[in-house]
Structures are given as structure tokens and as C-alpha cells.
């Protein structure tokens, strides 16, 4: 039962992420989702790229926060 709920929540998260991304560029989308607290693997799945690419695209956010 818990596993089913988690799977459904993951699907809901993906749908919401796709809606947030809309027509944004990959960089802007990755940064927006990262600022919202979404993990790199989920962002990568939404943007159809790798977690490593997401790390590179969002690296500037960490530097700006410091």
C-alpha cells in the first residue's frame, strides 16, 4: 500500500514539474525546479537529460547563494 502511494506521488510530482517547466529553456527549467527543491534525478527525467547535466546547469545557483 505504501509503495503504491509513493509511486502515485512520484507521478504527481513529475506532472507538476512538467507544468512548471512549460516552454522554458533547459537551463531556466533546471534552475527553477532546483530552487523549488526538486532533486537532480527528477529534474533530469523531466528534462530528458542526465543528472550530471542538471548539476552543471544548476551549479551557478549554489555559487550565487554563498
The predicted pLDDT at position 47 comes to 95
| Centroid of chain to Cα 35 | 9
How many Cβ atoms from other residues are within 10 Å of residue 55's Cβ?
15
pLDDT at residue 13 is higher than 80:
yes
Mean pLDDT of 40-61: 94
- Which pLDDT score, from 0 to 100, does residue 9 have? 94
- pLDDT for res 8: 95
User: What is the 3-state composition of the chain as percent helix, strand, coil, each rounded to the nearest 5?
Assistant: 80, 0, 20
What is the model's pLDDT at position 61? 82
Q: How far apart are CA 2 and CA 47, in angstroms?
A: 27
Question: Strand, coil or helix: what is 43?
Answer: helix
CA distance 12 to 52: 24
Distance of CA 52 to the CA centre of its chain: 12
Amino acid at each position: 500500500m505504501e509503495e503504491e502511494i509513493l509511486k502515485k506521488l512520484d507521478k504527481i510530482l513529475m506532472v507538476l514539474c512538467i507544468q512548471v517547466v512549460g516552454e522554458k529553456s533547459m537551463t531556466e527549467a533546471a534552475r527553477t525546479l532546483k530552487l523549488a527543491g526538486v532533486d537532480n534525478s527528477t529534474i533530469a527525467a523531466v528534462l530528458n537529460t542526465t543528472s550530471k547535466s542538471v548539476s552543471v546547469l544548476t551549479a551557478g545557483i549554489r555559487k550565487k547563494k554563498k
